[in-house]
């Protein structure tokens, strides 16, 4: 039978649902909050999730958005609540929930909803978008600009330099569960039937200069009908309008395409975000069953961060997939990255004795802060908390020492010991 994850902060509801579903032959895992739910979901890879909306740490709708953005909404999710509004239910459905159970939940309604969700909502392929990176100021701002522009225009042109994050940006404008049609990969005429079936979805072109004559006609045909069929066009190019005109593109089509555009950063400009991007790509591959369970070591993440990525996001994604498939251990190391990206290069030097390997993988500012924290923690213990002896040991003036400890989060307020 199926494995079901039940997420609810009320222990009585968790136990009741678990008992009913277990009696029906399902394997049931439970979680009392969002933090536990993340761990259980990653460990169990459930076939279905029953998710309470109101929880103490993170509400269910926010958790649903998080999974959708990170490409982890690969299983059907049924929301549960005793106080949700219609707007909340609609929002959850828009994000990707397949059903809604109102509390108190009757046994027959529960079983019917579970059966329907398992029968009609097969596992979906995961999609990664900019929404998965809320900690990156650059990616968060780019996402806001994209959504703001898309709110006023059906067609968005991405002015993308070589080595950019074109598809990742474009996927941000794809509603959950809606169609994705790559105009650059289809050599057949675009039909009205296909456009009607794809309502609410995205027509995508990763590089305008690579389109054939027929594909250019498909693009022009689609642009005239975006509003009628509730479709969005996201196209990208490294060229300007004049350069495309030199390739015999029609002036009218170019004018329409370049009417609304937005610039994208290259992956080289986002090097500090590369470790997070790589980790999410790896999670997506594992979730989709395209790679075994793997994780990136800190040193491997730093090696990826330092690579120039001339081919951009596509190159990063293929690299992570290759690393996951070829790695002999569960943890992918820096040597794995080096052998793939710079074959034949000299091996990385060994870590000096007494040095923490993770420290060498950090940017200089973060490595220095890590060392200082370890240094002062050690000497605070040695000197028994005496600020006088600590100042003498470190050679720092007392006021400077107090400020340094406060900056490192080691003391809330100085307490003098003799």
pTM over 0.85: no
- The burial of 241, by beta-carbon neighbours within 10 Å (0-12 exposed, 13-18 middle, 19 or more buried), is given as middle
pLDDT of 417 strictly over 50:
no
**In this predicted structure, which of 59-68, 78-87, 232-241, 266-275 has the lowest mean pLDDT?**
78-87
Tens digit of each residue's pLDDT (9 = 90 or more) over 83-107: 767 788 888 888 889 899 988 898 9
More reliable by pLDDT, 399 or 346: 399
Q: What percent of the chain has pLDDT over 70?
A: 92
pLDDT in the model for residue 415 = 44
Q: CA-to-CA distance for 131 and 375, rounded, in angstroms?
A: 38
Write out pLDDT tens, residues 32-58. 999 999 999 988 889 999 999 988 888
8 A C-beta contact, residue 277 and residue 164: no
Reported confidence tier of residue 284, pLDDT bands at 50, 70, 90: confident
pLDDT of residue 309 exceeding 90, the answer is: yes
pLDDT band at 418 (very low <50, low <70, confident <90, very high): very low
Which pLDDT score is estimated for 93? 86
pLDDT higher than threshold 90 for residue 74: no
Average pLDDT of the segment spanning 321-342: 92
Give the model's pLDDT for residue 172. 92
pLDDT bin (cut points 50, 70, 90) of residue 414 is very low
pLDDT above 60 (res 336): yes
Residue 282: pLDDT over 90: yes
The pLDDT of 345-370, averaged and rounded, is 66
Q: For residue 390, count CB atoms less than 10 angstroms from its CB and return exposed for 0-12, middle for 13-18, buried for 19 or more.
A: buried
92 is written with which tokens?
């959850």
* CA distance linking residue 117 with residue 48, whole number of Å: 8
Query: Average pLDDT for residues 135-146, to the nearest whole number?
Result: 94
C-alpha to C-alpha distances, 313 to 38, 129, 169, 224, 310, nearest whole angstrom: 26, 12, 10, 30, 9
Can you give the pLDDT at residue 348? Answer: 52
Name the pLDDT band for 416 (thresholds 50, 70, 90).
very low
> Hey, which bits of 32-116 come out as E strands?
48-52, 77-81, 99-102
């Amino acid at each position: 039978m199926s494995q079901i994850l039940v997420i609810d902060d009320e222990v009585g509801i968790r136990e009741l649902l678990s008992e009913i579903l277990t009696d029906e032959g399902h394997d049931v895992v439970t979680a009392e909050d969002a933090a536990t739910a993340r761990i259980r979901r990653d460990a169990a890879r459930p076939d279905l999730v029953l998710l309470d909306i109101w929880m103490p740490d993170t509400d269910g709708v926010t958790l649903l958005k998080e999974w959708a953005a990170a490409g982890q909404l690969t299983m059907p999710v049924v929301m549960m609540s005793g106080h949700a509004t219609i707007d909340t239910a609609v929002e959850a459905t828009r994000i990707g929930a397949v059903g809604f159970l109102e509390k108190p939940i009757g046994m027959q309604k529960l079983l019917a909803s579970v059966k329907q969700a398992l029968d009609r909502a097969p596992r979906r392929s995961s999609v990664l978008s900019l929404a998965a990176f809320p900690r990156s100021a650059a990616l968060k701002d780019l996402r806001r600009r994209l959504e703001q522009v898309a709110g006023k225009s059906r067609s968005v042109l991405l002015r993308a330099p070589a080595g950019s994050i074109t598809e990742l940006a474009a996927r941000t404008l794809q509603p959950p569960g809606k169609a994705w049609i790559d105009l650059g990969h289809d050599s057949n005429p675009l039909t009205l039937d296909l456009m009607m079936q794809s309502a609410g979805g995205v027509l995508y072109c990763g590089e305008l200069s690579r389109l054939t004559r027929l594909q250019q006609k498909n693009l022009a045909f689609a642009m005239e009908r975006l509003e009628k069929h509730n479709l969005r066009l996201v196209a990208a190019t490294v060229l300007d309008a004049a350069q495309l005109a030199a390739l015999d593109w029609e002036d009218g089509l170019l004018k329409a395409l370049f009417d609304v555009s937005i610039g994208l950063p290259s992956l080289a400009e986002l090097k500090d975000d590369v470790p997070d991007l790589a980790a999410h790509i790896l999670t997506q591959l594992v979730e989709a069953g395209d790679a075994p369970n793997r994780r990136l070591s800190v040193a491997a993440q730093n090696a990826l961060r330092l690579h120039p990525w001339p081919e951009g996001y596509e190159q990063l994604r293929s690299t992570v997939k290759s690393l996951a498939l070829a790695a002999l251990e569960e943890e992918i190391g820096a040597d794995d990255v080096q052998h793939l990206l710079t074959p034949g290069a000299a091996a990385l030097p060994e870590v000096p004795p007494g040095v923490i390997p993770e420290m060498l993988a950090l940017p200089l500012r973060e490595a220095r802060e890590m060392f200082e924290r370890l240094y002062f923690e050690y000497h605070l213990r040695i000197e028994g908390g005496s600020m006088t002896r600590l100042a003498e040991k470190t050679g720092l003036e007392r006021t400077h020492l107090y400020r340094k400890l406060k900056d490192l989060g080691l003391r809330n307020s100085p307490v003098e010991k003799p």
